[in-house]
Amino acid sequence: MLLEGIETLLVLAEEGTMSRTGSRLYISQSAVSKRIAKLEATLGTKLIIPAGRLIKLTPDAHALIKNVGPSFNEVRGLIFEHQNLDDQSIITLDCSETLVAGYLANALGTYFQKDKYISITTHHTPVIVENVQSGKASIGFCAGHLPAQYNFVAEHLMDEPFKLVFNQPLTALPKAIVVNDLKNPSNISQAAVLQKLGITPLMEMDSYTASAQLALAGMAPALVPQSIVKTLSIDDKYCFEFTELAELTRPIYLIYRQNSYKQPRVKNLVETITNLFT
């Protein structure tokens, strides 16, 4: 029960509300509340404070998460590694939405015909990393810089290039462009490059698809990765490359725990994906 309560607190810290936490854990909102109450009773301290629709964590909750969170995820990952996958066990592949759409959709559609017990989820890179480390996902397919220390295998598949997308000809670097969240690990290195070139981030979106569609509608040029250009079948006449922007790439990784790779079904799926980039 203690581990269950800690898991619930960790998810609540990420989601911010009881309802979203319940959805992620596949339990009711009242069950989330009961788990947190039991954890508070066990520890003898208050962990959450209602703040309108959101939940605010107390200093004791933040301290608990900081001290216990990494170890909890590692223990959960180690337990996961000792589970045997039979032919009907679900293998979870956690992906960046842009990457699965741009590079994996067709291959996974074919792969699913021979192994129907594959579940695909989509998250940003930090969550994908956490899910692989904790065993929530068997494999992660993500973009951007990984944490300095991690306990999984990371195969570098490629450095994905970006293009400027706009519905009008671009003969010179624009002064302002639409970008995606520059605080996201996939994009964090872009800020310094844009500043050096004197380019202002006009808007920071959370969806490359939205950025591309705004650019194609004439709002402003948008910085869009190759996977989105491919997914949306954006015509070459709307895509522009500049030498100054050549360093704006993002590394793409396939990540998985070493012991998970010993499972034949996991190994087959890993090799299927890596072969797409060789």
Q: Residue 158 corresponds to which tokens in the numbers above?
A: 């490629």
Q: What is the pLDDT of residue 77?
A: 63
Rounded Cα distance between 40 and 51, Å, is: 18
Alpha-carbon distance of 94 to 119, in angstroms, equals: 8
pTM score, two decimals? 0.73
Q: Are 150 and 133 in contact (CB under 8 A)?
A: yes
The per-residue pLDDT for 104 is 93
Cβ–Cβ under 8 Å, residues 269 and 141? no
Cα 278 from Cα 216, distance rounded (Å): 32
Identify the DSSP state of 168: S
Report residue 119 as tokens: 């579940």
Q: How far apart are CA 9 and CA 260, in angstroms?
A: 27
Q: Cα–chain-centroid distance for residue 138?
A: 14
Contacts 24+ apart (CB under 8 A), 190-194: 190/223, 190/248, 193/245, 193/247, 193/248
- Asked if residue 215 lies in contact with residue 239, where contact means CB atoms within 8 angstroms, the answer is no
CA 200 – CA 198 distance, rounded (Å): 6
pLDDT number for residue 87? 67
Strand partners, 154: 255
Query: In degrees to the nearest 10, what's the CA dihedral of 229, 96, 223, 232?
Result: 20
Read off the amino acid at residue 106. N
The one-digit pLDDT tens for each residue of the chain (278 residues) are 677 888 888 889 888 898 888 887 878 888 999 999 999 999 999 999 988 778 899 999 999 888 887 777 777 666 666 666 656 788 899 999 989 999 999 899 899 998 889 999 999 888 898 888 888 899 999 998 888 777 889 999 999 999 999 999 999 999 999 999 888 766 778 888 999 999 999 999 988 999 999 999 999 999 999 999 999 999 999 999 999 999 999 999 999 988 888 888 899 999 999 999 98
Dihedral of alpha carbons 212, 215, 219, 220, sign: positive
